[in-house]
Amino acid sequence: MRNPIVTRRACLGLLSGLAVSVAAGCAPTSSAPGGGGQGAASTTVKVGVLASLTGDGAGYGQYMVEGLRLKMESPETVAQLGGTKVELVVEDDAGKPEQAVSAATKLVNQDNVAVLVGSVFSPTTMATQAVTNKARVPQITPSSTAAAITQQGNNWIFRVALPDTILGTDLARFVANDLRLKRVGFMYVNDDFGKGGYDAFATEAKRLNVEIVAAEAYGRGDKDFTAQLSWIKAANPDVFVQWSRYAEAALISQQAKQLGYTVPMLGSDAHAAPKFLELAGQSAEGSYYVGHWSISADWSESTAFVERYRARYSRDPDQYSAQGYTAAEILVDALKRAQSGDRAKLRDAIAATRGLKTPMGTMEFNGQGDLVYPTFMVKIVSGKDTPARKA
Amino acid sequence: MLAEQLLGGFAIGCVYSLIALGYTMLIRAIGLVNFAQGEVMMVGALIGWTLLTSFPLPYPLVLVLAMALTALLGVLIDRLVYRPVQRRGAPTMNVIITTIGVSIALRNAAQLIWGSEPLRYPTVFATEPIAIGGLTVAPQNVSILLVGLAFMGLLQLFFQRTRTGLAMRAAAQDPDMARMMGVGVDRMVTYTYAISAALGAAGGVLLAPIFFASFDMGYIGVKSFAAATIGGLGNVPGAMVGGIVLGVVETLGAAFISSAYKDALGYGIMIALLLFVPSGLFVRAQRRS
């Protein structure tokens, strides 16, 4: 809860700024701005953004924040929100849970944000949701996929990404039903991300009578995978699946090709990062991945988003940009309906999202804070994403 | 499968050897453990990346250029940091701590210059495996092995057959006597820094096409230090053998015992070896007491 001294200072700030909503600003659950009131007749809603902007996950965070900014700062959004001005407060968590917690605490208690968008990775999101839950601040994570995130009995957490259980399950179905292959060699990173993907895949594979002939794990940051790949190859699989982050995924893809792998290769949504294709080069040709969104999606919301993104940043968006953008869409839609920067009202408005058209599909939350929409299966052809499912 | 793994182990071992040589030469010459050696290797790999992606240069030329530029960096660091610290009479332990400081500075500088994402070398080795009598062999492993062995051979020739090499050995073994015989000991130390940095860069440029180049690849320096220790600190042939032993043990351990304990196995072997042969496989060349 808020510190009385901060509250008093907030009120003084509001008075001196001649803001309208003085009463709302001092109410204990409100999130009206601390020193705000630049525009005499408008309310300002502070939106906290938490992402990995340095460290080895910096690429993910940058794309996500760019997507978010594209939506939040567009003239069209400003017009739609009318008197409500949005102010973004961006903090870096470097992909580390401990840094994420202190940054989230600062955003919630010092900056008094009305809502928090972030973080990128599952461990950082997991750690920060305790902070937002306690302070009763709605939090939307654009990209964290660990299934457990929305299973904590926390009403304040929402996510744009699909849980890894759905991604793993869908990939197993694709192997069984579309590729019609029966013997899987599986390789995964030995942490929550990799094990989550493996468990989901293995459970569904068993149900569909697809056999996992070899499964090998590796440590995060490993560079040489020839030992595991040799074992998997010796088990003679007819399809190879890996659940890795992009840097390791690219190395595995290259080393597998060098060991003479000719079977189809499949991967997780981490392959959606453009960096994967850049690093893996020719070895990624003909491979598949299960994702949330792809630049090859052909519906109008998606193509319009890609166009705008290219116009502003002079490069292609990736899945994380689309997720950041979609989180912003959900937020703008909720702000329009809530007509307020009150944390509880915003939470209810976010939960009530219905039939919202976004680049990632038409969005609606289930009761748990997860969105329901189909995965996107991609095949890399001539170095480009193409839709892999037959329509 | 054994033969393929063995070849991979030899190749990565050669890279360890090249970096380990850098450690060992400095220990021999001035009794200094240079913990920035891994980071020097990293800078070499990144310089190589810049050269390869900015200019239409062939890979062998890039290898040589990156070695030359990194050698220059090694000498600069010595002139600007280590020597002033030593001249002010700092005990050797403090100079060693300074090398750790330099390694952190190099890491951060590299992150600022080249960013935090891994960088891919343009394809330099053939990616299709070669089949030799039922064996599939990765061409890059063969290339690394050959280039690594060639450098080590050249280094031995240099030490045994050239006047400068002889002078460097003399300066390392007995600086005072060498000085009396007219050897510029300071200059020999500068050469030592240059050569160890160049060997590190060679390791980096050979490694980067397989593992990518990035600011955090310097951790391999720690493994190479272990390799130098296995071979006997301060012993040049020891560093070469130590690197290859570590590479092979690590790779075979990952293949036949457990890939999860790959690093633990490498270091476990080091500890076990040191328990039985406390000064390493090769006895260190004695310095004058």
Q: So what's the ipTM on this one?
A: 0.73
What ranges make up the beta strands (E) of B9-153? Answer: 130-132, 135-137
Residue B26 has pLDDT above 80, yes or no: yes
> Residue A237 in contact with residue B107, Cβ under 8 Å?
no
How confident is the model at residue A328, as a pLDDT?
96
Residues of chain A with pLDDT under 50: 1-40
Closest-CA distance of chain B to residue A229, Å: 9
- Give the best residue of B123, B144, B259 to mutate against chain A (max A CB count within 10 A): B259
pLDDT tens readout for residues B5-23: 888 889 999 999 999 999 9
The CATH code that applies to domain B2-276 is 1.10.3470
B127 inside 8 A of chain A by CB: yes
Per-residue b/e over B195-205, b at no fewer than 16 CB within 10 Å? bbbbbbbbbbb
Cα distance between residue A302 and residue A360, in whole Å: 7
pLDDT tens readout for residues A229-263: 988 999 999 999 999 988 899 999 999 998 889 99
Nearest CA in chain A to B263: A222
Closest-CA distance of chain B to residue A68, Å: 22
Who has greater pLDDT, B258 or B113? Answer: B113
What percent of chain B stands above pLDDT 70? Answer: 96
Residue B47, token pair as written in the block: 């310089």
How confident is the model at residue A386, as a pLDDT?
92
Q: What is the mean pLDDT of residues B118-130?
A: 78
Residues from chain B contacting residue A56 (CB–CB below 8 Å): 116-117, 216
Residue B102 has pLDDT above 90, yes or no: yes
Q: How confident is the model at residue B283 (pLDDT cuts 50, 70, 90)?
A: low
Chain center to CA of B256: 27
Who has greater pLDDT, B266 or A386? Answer: A386
How confident is the model at residue A82, as a pLDDT?
84
Residues from chain B contacting residue A96 (CB–CB below 8 Å): none
Who has greater pLDDT, A71 or B121? Answer: A71
Do the chains contact at B255 and A231, CB–CB below 8 Å? yes
In chain A, residues under CATH classification 3.40.50.2300 are 42-161+300-363, 164-291
How confident is the model at residue A17, as a pLDDT?
43
Cα distance between residue A50 and residue B195, in whole Å: 46
Residue B279 has pLDDT above 70, yes or no: yes
What is the CATH architecture of A42-161+300-363? 3-Layer(aba) Sandwich (3.40)
Closest-CA distance of chain B to residue A55, Å: 6
Per-residue b/e over B149-179, b at no fewer than 16 CB within 10 Å? eebbeebeeebeeeeebebbbbbbebbeebe
Q: How confident is the model at residue B163 (pLDDT cuts 50, 70, 90)?
A: very high
Cα distance between residue B36 and residue B41, in whole Å: 9
Residues from chain B contacting residue A254 (CB–CB below 8 Å): 127, 210
Q: Domain A164-291 classified CATH 2.70.240.10?
A: no
Per-domain residue ranges for chain B?
A: 2-276
> Residue B13 in contact with residue B173, Cβ under 8 Å?
no
Q: How confident is the model at residue B63 (pLDDT cuts 50, 70, 90)?
A: very high
Nearest CA in chain B to A229: B255
How confident is the model at residue B136, as a pLDDT?
72
pLDDT tens readout for residues A150-182: 999 999 999 999 998 899 999 999 999 999 999
Element (H, E) at B169: helix B163-173
Do the chains contact at A234 and B1, CB–CB below 8 Å? yes
Q: What is the mean pLDDT of residues B189-210?
A: 93
How confident is the model at residue B127, as a pLDDT?
67
How confident is the model at residue A390, as a pLDDT?
67
Residues of A with CB under 8 A from a CB of B: 54-56, 58-59, 190, 216-219, 222-224, 226-228, 230-231, 234, 247, 250-251, 254-255, 257-260, 275, 278-279, 281-283
How confident is the model at residue A391, as a pLDDT?
55
> Residue A244 in contact with residue A187, Cβ under 8 Å?
yes
